[in-house]
Amino acid sequence: MVMATELKHVFHMNGGSDDTSYAKSSYIQKQLLTLTKPLKEQAIRDSYCKNLPKTMCIADLGCSSAESNTLSLITELLDTIEKAHREHGNEPQEYQVYLNDLPGNDFNTIFRSLGKFEDKLKKKMGDDFGHCFVSGVPGSFYGRLFPSNHLHFVHSYSIHWLSQIPKGIENNKENVYISRTSPSNVVKAYSDQFENDFTTFLRRRSEEVVAGGMMVLTMLGRKTEELYSKESCYMYDLLATALNSMVFEGLIDEEKLNTYNIPQYPPSAAELRNLVDKQGSFSFDQVHVCEVSWEANECYKYSSSKESDHYDFYKCMRSVVEPLLTSHFGETIIEEIFKRYKDLIQNAMALENNVFINVTISLTRKG
């Protein structure tokens, strides 16, 4: 079983810029940024107008290595603040932007893009644009990352990732995640781990976010209150099928499979509201629940982007799960795992339109 200290060092998205890198294949995440744009814009405008800080401090937690997603997000946020800033007639605004992820993240892919990002930012915002300072912050967002009362706005699309594999789920045999066949104690262990992690996250951020500061958090989630949801679990059911076929053929040791589980949990909107209220440091402002299809054409039906022509859900999933699979099963069988996983994904997509459920919430730090 992978514990918190070990997971922190082995968990990251695929780095680099090849076809199976997170930077090249995170199209679903890009679509989510578009779907949640209105909520983010309202939240950061409200935070700015409440505080009118000389330096606006913004953090993107779990930024990963997809520079187009991360830097597009920052551009949108700064554009919203600049519009509000001009209404108040103040001097040029300064910005401090923090990009956070675990130490194994490929920060260099983002950092190599900062020169072009700054040039585009100045061109877009005009001559009266102030200064934007960008810093990388390696570390787990389940611990302290920033000084007290420092941040004005926090964004994340990563809180569904747990700090560790839940304890006591050794009997989740032949599964790699919450499944229809998972024993009840396994499902409860996942739920308990998320409650502990999310409460810890809120407590840490309550020390770092100023009064009136805001957070917008998007998570893979579920609509139903039943803890197993096909929308949030099916992609991992297919991964379990691929791995079990290799156990049957003697390519993977059965015990090796039975000790592998995905450190992720899909909360419902009601679950999140309850945990926020219970922790008490933030007020629960808004919630937005949306579906995102596995299919590129569905994902981009509101967009004319040519990137949809290159979309491949298999590559998207590979960019997310490959590092954890390699750490547990070794490199020698990785290509065979993904060959089988790819076939299963393509068959599933040919039969029906599958979707993710995503839950976005906006929170305000109580004064």
At 90, give phi and psi (nearest 5°).
-90, 175
User: What is the tens place of the pLDDT at every residue in 240-297?
Assistant: 999 999 999 999 999 999 999 999 999 999 999 999 999 999 999 999 999 888 875 5
For the cut 90, the answer to whether the pLDDT of residue 299 exceeds it is no
At 340, give phi and psi (nearest 5°).
-70, -40
Q: Which residue has the higher pLDDT, 86 or 339?
A: 339
Nearest to 172, CA basis, from 246, 243, 267? 243
pLDDT-derived band at 29 (thresholds 50, 70, 90) equals: low
Burial of 322-359, coded b for 16+ CB within 10 Å and e otherwise, reads: bbbbbbebeeeeeeebbebbbebbeebeeeeebbbbbb
User: What is the tens place of the pLDDT at every residue in 8-23?
Assistant: 555 544 444 455 444 4
- The reported pLDDT for the residue numbered 187 is 95
pTM: 0.89
- The reported pLDDT for the residue numbered 214 is 97
Sheet containing 209-220: order of strands: 132-138, 94-101, 55-61, 151-156, 209-220, 355-365, 282-293
For the cut 50, the answer to whether the pLDDT of residue 43 exceeds it is yes
Q: Check the CA dihedral 240-242-246-248 and report its sign.
A: positive
Question: Bridge-partner residues for 264, per DSSP?
Answer: 161
- The reported pLDDT for the residue numbered 297 is 55
For the cut 70, the answer to whether the pLDDT of residue 302 exceeds it is no
H helices, E strands: number in the chain: 14, 7
- The reported pLDDT for the residue numbered 125 is 85
- The reported pLDDT for the residue numbered 67 is 56
What are the distances in angstroms from CA 275 to CA 143, 174, 181, 191, 278?
18, 31, 27, 12, 5
Note whether 140 and 163 are within 8 A (CB): yes
> Distance between CA atoms of 295 and 298, rounded to whole angstroms?
5
> Distance between CA atoms of 277 and 351, rounded to whole angstroms?
41
User: What is the tens place of the pLDDT at every residue in 152-161?
Assistant: 999 999 999 9
Q: Which residue has the higher pLDDT, 257 or 311?
A: 257
